[in-house]
Each structure stands twice: as C-alpha cells, then as structure tokens.
A = this chain, B = another copy of it.
Amino acid sequence: MSKTILINGTIMTMDQMNQVYKNGAVAFENGKLTYVGEIPTDLEKYDEVIDVNGDYVLPGLVNTHGHASMSLLRGYADDLPLQQWLEEKMWPIEAQYTKDHAKWGTYLSLIEMLRTGTTTFVDMYDNMDEVAKAVEASGARARLCRGMIGFGSEELRQSKLEEASAFAKNWNNQANGRITTMMSPHSPYTCTPDFIEQIVGKASELQVPMHIHMSETLAEVAQNEKEYGERPVKHLEKLGVFSQPTLVAHAVHVEDWEMDILAEYDVKVSNNIISNLKLASGVAPVPEMLNKGITVSLGTDSSASNNNLDFFEEIKQAALLFKGVRNDATLIPAEKALQMATIHGAEAIWLDNQIGSLEVGKEADFIVIDTKQAFYQPVHNPISHLVYSGSGRDVKDVYVQGKQVVKNSTCVTIDEEKVFYEVNRLVQQFQ
C-alpha cells in the first residue's frame, strides 16, 4: 500500500497530553496513522510527501447528534418554540418524506459536514438504509440509528422495532468499518415505557448502544413528571435504558442529582448548544457535567434548527456561552472545547480506540485548515485561533481512513451540483 506523509503542519494531536507539534508531520498507510510527531528524517521511504506549509492538521471532528435528512427543511421555519416548531411545521412536512428525501437530504448534509471538517457523525432518523448508503458512498464515518417515535398502533410500533433492529444488525461495522449502529427510541415523551423496554431488550440482544433525546425542554420534563411521576433521567434509569451503553442528546434540564445518575452509569451526553438556543430550550449545565466526569460531546442537531452543520460554530459557542452566562471567563477554555469536538466526541460514541485523536494505530481521519488567512494571524496560539477565530469554511482538505474526501474545499466523493438540484426539486414538491 501507498505510504503518505504530510509535513510542515501545525499538528494538533488531541492526544492525552494535548501535544501540539508546531512544525510536525502525520503519516498514514492502509487507512491508519503510522507516524505523528516532529518531521522525521526518513522522508525517502514515503511514496508521497505533502508539504502543508504551516496549515493546521487535526483529527476529523465528531458530531454526536443530528438528523441529516432534515437539511431539506433548513430555513423552512424559524424563530418558533420547539413544540410548535415540531408539531406545526416539521412533522406535517416530514410526513411527506420518501426515501428520496432521506437520500438527497443526507447528501446535502454530508457535503456540509465533510466540507467543514466533520468526518464522523451520529444520525437518528428513518429511511436509514438511504442514509447508510449515502454515508458509504461519500466516504464519511457514522454511527447510525433508526429513531422510533412510538405513536400510533401496536402494529406500527412493532414494524418500526423490526426495521430498526434489522438496520442495526445489517449495517453494524459495514462500509469497511466506517458505519456502526445503535438502537434509538426517539424520546421518553414519544415512546411508552413498555416500548422503550422492548427497544432496550433488542439493543442488548444485538449488543449495540442506545441513543435517545432527553430533557431537552422544561415542558418535556414537566410532562414526564406528570405522566410518570419522575423526571426523565430517573424514568429512563428505571426502564433499564442505562444498563446499555447510552448516548443522550440535549440533557439541558438535568439537576445535580440527575447528573450523578448519568455519571454513575457513564451515560454519554451530546450537547446541542446552538439548536438549544435557537429553539429557546435553554442552556445545559455543561461545566457541571464535565466536573462530574461525564463525557460531554457536541452535536449540531439538524440544520432545520441550527441552521448549518459547520461544527466550528458549536466549538466556539461551547467556549463562549458558559463564560458569559455564568460570569466566569475561565470556564471551558479553548482546548477543552476542541476536545469536546474530537476526542470526547469519539468517546461519546465508543469509537475512541479508532478516532478522535492523531495517534499511531488510529484511523487516518484528519483535516487540514488553510491558515494563510487573516483569521490565523499573527501566530500566537494555534488552538485559540482555531476555536475562537476559525470557521469550518477554512477547512481545505479532509481525509477519512486515509482517503481524501475533500480537496481544496470541494467534496470529491459527492457531485455537489447534482445534490443542490435534487434538493430544490424535492422541496418544490412539498404540499
């Protein structure tokens, strides 16, 4: 196999020491990293030597919550509260979704994500075969699940459970290991307790983790207390959800003792800061969760509530918001925000032995940032520049498993023009 090395980069390893090589190198072969460090002397042994000339090189970003198909609804409805936005705007139009919508919506999201440096993402939606096929074709990496809303007849629920189980089984470790799966009840407010228990049983049987929306809004928590006499965390604990490895999305409204439960079961959290602000859901207690040792990662949620998938915006927001609303400028420094977007993201989806940092033996998933721009001058602190001044638009090249998927800021695995044409064709057909 071909041996490739990038030299003269500012290498942000995101390893346990947070090692940064100011003028370093990264090499890979057969999809895996074979060298990370100072520029070696044996460059002659490489088939290809790429001089990145001072650009930043860092692990591909990990977006731990989203709904790629929903990119068709970007800008379709804004400035509304969550329940009204869901019930009056999103659900009626999503009811018109076909496989085609899932397919092209996912491709649109893939363009955005790859183009802005996200190499791995979590997706919870339906028509997941279409999503998985698009991921496979694009060269991206993803942990996918068929999100189940438990409204309707028992027959409908069972057919969803079968579909979700088949998906989780058939696609796990596919696409050369780039696709893994989960089982996913949509939320405690859209699934009855017995349905959630059935899903937990299936996840245990298939040995895949669980993914669920939880404690996103105050209204949801109040409804849970009214209906089940418990707040969502305790409710899900009782239903045995946390007996499986679990990733919860949001966790905006969790009290101190609830965080203790999440910590006890090592429940992973995907915090969706921008979506939570836009839908007025609130501000999650992220500094407190981090203090309790909970793995907190970042997610965009869908581009219907964000409204883009440029993960650099989440990173900057993570480093800004808590400082401002808690009156403490030391909260979540730049380095921690970047960890949340890389290594903590990998930990949150149980892939930290493969991705999330640049270390020999891990997968060659990495991105290159064009630093020949004013935003990165003068050269003081690269991690600060990346977090506080950078943008996903500055991502120049993206590699997944050693294969280049973005070159000079353009996706090479997806025909962008065709995707733009198809998504506009589809949305014009909505009733």
Contact = CB atoms under 8 A, between A and B. Distances in A.
A80 B330 CA distance: 6
Q: DSSP class of A's interface residues: helix, strand, loop or mixed?
A: helix
Interface stretch (A36-44, A171-179, A291-299, A313-321): A313-321
Nearest to A104: B378
Contact of A388 (B78, B372, B379, B419): B78
Contact of A324 (B283, B323, B394, B420): B283
Interface string A69-81: 0011111101111
Range, interface on chain A? 35 or more
By CB atoms of chain B within 10 A, which of A218, A280, A372 has the most?
Answer: A280
B79 A329 contact: yes
B308 A416 contact: no
Interface in A258-286: 274, 276-283
A278 B74 contact: no
Interface string A374-392: 1101111100110011011
A393 interface: yes
A327 B313 CA distance: 21
A329 B380 contact: no
A420 B388 contact: no
A75 B310 contact: no
B79 A389 contact: no
A401 interface: no
B420 A278 contact: no
Report the copy number of this chain in the oligomer: 2
Contact of A378 (B81, B334, B423): B423
A182 to B, nearest CB: 26
Interface stretch (A21-29, A107-115, A196-204, A357-365): A107-115
Interface string A306-350: 111010010010011101111111110110000000000000000
A424 B374 CA distance: 11
By CB atoms of chain B within 10 A, which of A72, A108, A308 has the most?
Answer: A308
A184 interface: no
A119 interface: no
Contacts of A331: 280
A85 interface: yes
By CB atoms of chain B within 10 A, which of A72, A283, A306, A373 has the most?
Answer: A373
Contacts of A276: 324
A137 interface: no
Given A308-B375, A420-B372, A79 B320 contact: no
A72 B375 contact: no
B416 A374 contact: yes
Interface in A385-428: 385, 388-389, 391-394, 416, 419-420, 423-424, 426-427
Given A74-B380, A80-B330, 11 more contacts: A71-B377, A75-B389, A79-B319, A79-B329, A79-B334, A80-B329, A278-B320, A278-B324, A280-B329, A374-B416, A377-B419
Considering the complex of A and B, which 4 residue pairs feature the smallest CB-CB distances, nearest first?
A277-B324, A393-B393, A280-B329, A307-B388
